[in-house]
Structures are given as C-alpha cells and as structure tokens.
Amino acid sequence: MSDQAKRTFSLLEAPKKHYGTLRNFVDGEWVEPQTDRYLDVEDPATGETIASVPCSTKADTDRAIQAAQDAFWDWRSTPPVVRARYMYKIRELLEKNFEELSRITTQEHGKAIDEARGETRRTVECVEVATGVTSLMMGYNLEDGAAKNIDETMVRQPLGVGACITPYNFPFMMTGFWWPYAIAAGNTFVIKQSHQTPITITRFFEILEDADLPDGVMNLVQGDRVVGDAILESPLVRAVGFIGSTPVAKQIYKRCGETGKRICANGGAKNFITVMPDAEIDRQISNMMASFFGCAGQRCLAASVLLAVGDVYDEIKEKFLAAAGALRTGPGLDESVNVGPVISAKHLASIHGYIETGIKEGADLLLDGRQVEVPGFEGGHYIAPTVFENCTPDMTICKDEIFGPVAMLARVKDLKEAISITNGTQFGNAASIYTTSGRSARTFWYEVDSGNIGVNLGVAAPVSYFPFAGMKESHFGSTHGQRDSFELFTDCKVVITRW
C-alpha cells in the first residue's frame, strides 16, 4: 500500500470531527456543570477545535466526591470476588471498543496510532491485574502470635474515596494506573483528566455504563486547576494519584501531607541512555528511535541524552542521525507516520525555545526538525526529530525536561563517567544501557539512581503487574503507580484476639 493510500484510508477511518460540549459523569448520570467557562480541545494534527470542555467548579467537584462517598459503604461491602467480576466485564468492554478508543487518543493527543494502541493495551492490562484483587488484597495471620490463645491477623481494607489527577500525554493509560486497582480494592473514585485531552476518558465513561457498576463508584469531573484543588482540599478524599511536572508534584505532596491524604505524585524526568562499545547497534537502533522520538518525546520515559562510551561514539552518531532523519513526521492517524504532532502551539514554541538555548550554549545542531512541512496539515503542531552533539551536563538542554523529539549526543570515556552523569541529574525516572556485557549491565542497574532501568531497551516501562517506579524528584510518596496502587488505596488493620 502506498503512503498516500495509507493516509487516505486512515483519515477515512478517523473519529468524529467534533465531539460537542463535554459533561461530567456523577452518581451514574451525565450532568451539566455549574459553569460558564469552557475551553477548546484541539486536534494537534490540524489545529482545529474538536470539542468544548467545561471548567467545572468546586461545587461540581464536591458533588462528585459526595456521590463517591455515599456509594462507598455498599461497594466496600461487596465481596472482592464480585468486584473482580465487574473488572472482567470492563475488560471485555475495553477490548470491544479498543480501536475506537485508540483512534480518539490519537486525535486529541496527536501520537502515532500504534502508540495509541499501545496505550490502550496497557490500560487493559491494568484492568486485568486488578481482577486479581482476591489474591492481592490478602493479609496474613499467626496463631498464638503474642501468647497462648492470642491470635493476630492483618487485613487490608479500602480507604474510602480515591481520586487521580492526570496529564495530557497519556489520556487513558495514566488514569488506568489508579482507578482499576482502587475500585477493585473496594474504594470509590473520582477522575480529573487534563482539559487538553478529555475526550478519550469521556468516551470510556460512556462505554463504562454497560458494565452496570453501582452508581457513584466511578465519577468524572471535567476542568482545570479548580477541580484539582477541590479534590486536594476535600476531607472526603483519602488518597490521590498524580502525574505531572515536578514543581506541581512537590506542591501536591506537601499539601496532602498537611491534610493526611495518601499520595503518589510522579514528577518530571530527564532520561539518559548509555551505549557501550560492545552494543549491537544495528539490531538496536530502531529501538533507540522509539525511545527518543516516540510520542514526539512527550512522555516521562522518553530518552533525552545519549552517552556513547569511547570510540563507539562515531558509529552511533552516524547511524543515529541516519535513522532519525528517516523517521516520518505527520498526523498520527496515518499508519506510516513515526512522529506525530506535539500537543499545542504553545508547547511547540517551548521546544523551539530550548533548541535556540542549546545553540546559544554551544551545542552543535546536527539535525534541525523545526522546518518540517506536512502537506495538507499546515495548521498542525509539528516538529521532526532534532539532534544536538557536543553537549555537556551543565547545558540547559541536558538538564531540563524538554518534552519533545530533541536528542542530545555526548561522548564519555567509560561506564563510570556515564553513571556519574546519569546520577548527576535531579531526576530519577528512567535510564537505559545498551551492551552485551552482563557485568556492565549489572554495574549499571546496581549503581544508577533511577526507578526504571532498561537493558538493551530504551523505554523502561514496567508491565502493569509491577509498580511504576521513580526516584529523587521524579517521584514523591511512599508507593508507586500500577500494582502498587493496591497499597496506596488500602490500609492495614491488625486484629488481636483472645478466646
């Protein structure tokens, strides 16, 4: 199939041109928020408005939280095995609507369609893990634990109302880090998704109606910071999952600490990849491309700086540039596209600003993606893969999270220096090494201060039955996302009895 044929087919299969004015889902019903403030939702591929999202008020948010509180006891009293059956039903509904949800994600976010399918698949996997609630919620006991005829038992119980506040870059999956585990454990839930990408989660709630969950178990509130603040301020909300920038994550962590809320707050990242002289570059270069430029660099696991050890630098530079230059930039619904648009004109301008800063600070621009043209999509927010070399750790582009398809290349003398530079960042989200040496790999994962480590893969994304880890200023809280959410949204109760 020709590239043009692929594009025509993809666009014919595209989602709606406009989704109208979105609403909240509260206590089993679609409700109009009490607001006169609305924001446009844009298709990043075209720059066109595709929906209107309300800026819900504190009263709207409180209404959803109260509905969740009112539904809690009945849901909490539902046997875990019955809650698991609801999760199975939700999983089947997600599979049935898999392609539609993926295409909506691409339309509102911009990412390539295969990347959106991967996001939907990971959400389904989170639901699958949550079906194991009957095992994952088990406690433990000890007969005659303290003394004769005194038994001790630890049970794990749900907290009450849980909530998540999630960003634009994974409109569906990042809510899935929290809600499946929370409701399977017996909590009720309120979701606040980014106002830039609210359509996928809205469609999910329409699909969710067929699961026949009790009213109030799952609630959706559309809006901006006002909704997030109301969630954080409410005494009824017991635990919160958050993903966003480090400054906001740090602030939310502090606020939740002051009010006694459980919190898992994931922040920003600056991820380094080390390439050793023994790496199998020809086999792994496509994997590196996905790491640096997948989702147009808009993910917290994206690689940003490549550290090549010794003489391998010249080889990796040549092959990296050739592979990056061959990637196709365009609308994500085109099956042949590798790099979709970034989320907005404002964010595109920010990426351009970082490129200018890199040039001013002395880095050499080897590949400039700013002038990319996408015929027929002139209103979209496009930037092609961009590559710098002669980058040093003190440069802004090697310290700040750019959140775009911009790669920095640097030569280092040995593994020790690579680890030192990797650990020198304030962040600790992910780091990877390419090598055929078990010793180098073990030294790397043992010494690097990052929560997610990749060996011969560039996107160290844990599967859903592992926690989504993070260290330093990439994570605040005592638990992590995904499977760890069972701990976030439950508490231990120790029962000591004498009979």
pLDDT in tens, 306-331: 999 999 999 999 999 999 999 999 99
DSSP output for 133-167:
HHHHT--EEEEEEEETTEEEEEEEEE-SEEEEEE-
pLDDT for 14 beyond 80: no
Three-class SS of residue 123?
helix
pLDDT for 4 beyond 80: no
Residues of the chain with CATH 3.40.605.10: 14-267+474-498
pLDDT in tens, 144-154: 777 788 888 88
pLDDT at 8: 39
Asked if 381 and 341 touch (Cβ cutoff 8 Å), the reply is: yes
Looking up tokens 């496009």 gives 382
Summarize the confidence of residues 337-362 as an average pLDDT. Answer: 98
CA–CA gap between residue 293 and residue 405 (Å, rounded): 5
pLDDT at 28: 97
Which range, of 17-21, 211-215, 339-343, averages the lowest pLDDT?
17-21
Summarize the confidence of residues 447-474 as an average pLDDT. Answer: 90
- In the chain, the N- to C-terminal Cα span, in Å, equals 76
Summarize the confidence of residues 237-264 as an average pLDDT. Answer: 95
pLDDT in tens, 33-64: 999 999 999 999 999 999 999 999 999 999 99
Name the residue among 169, 175, 176 with its Cα closest to residue 192: 175
pLDDT at 481: 80
pLDDT at 13: 56
User: What is the overall mean pLDDT for the chain?
Assistant: 93
Query: 264 falls in which pLDDT band (50, 70, 90)?
Result: very high
* Fold assignment, 14-267+474-498: Aldehyde Dehydrogenase; Chain A, domain 1 (3.40.605)
CA–CA gap between residue 480 and residue 135 (Å, rounded): 19
Residues of the chain with CATH 3.40.309.10: 271-464
Query: 10 falls in which pLDDT band (50, 70, 90)?
Result: very low
Summarize the confidence of residues 164-178 as an average pLDDT. Answer: 95
Query: 11 falls in which pLDDT band (50, 70, 90)?
Result: very low
Summarize the confidence of residues 258-280 as an average pLDDT. Answer: 96
CATH code of domain 271-464: 3.40.309.10
For residue 326, the surrounding DSSP H or E stretch is helix 312-326
**Which tokens go with 482?**
């995904």
pLDDT at 467: 80
* Percent of the chain with pLDDT strictly greater than 90: 85
Active site residues: 300
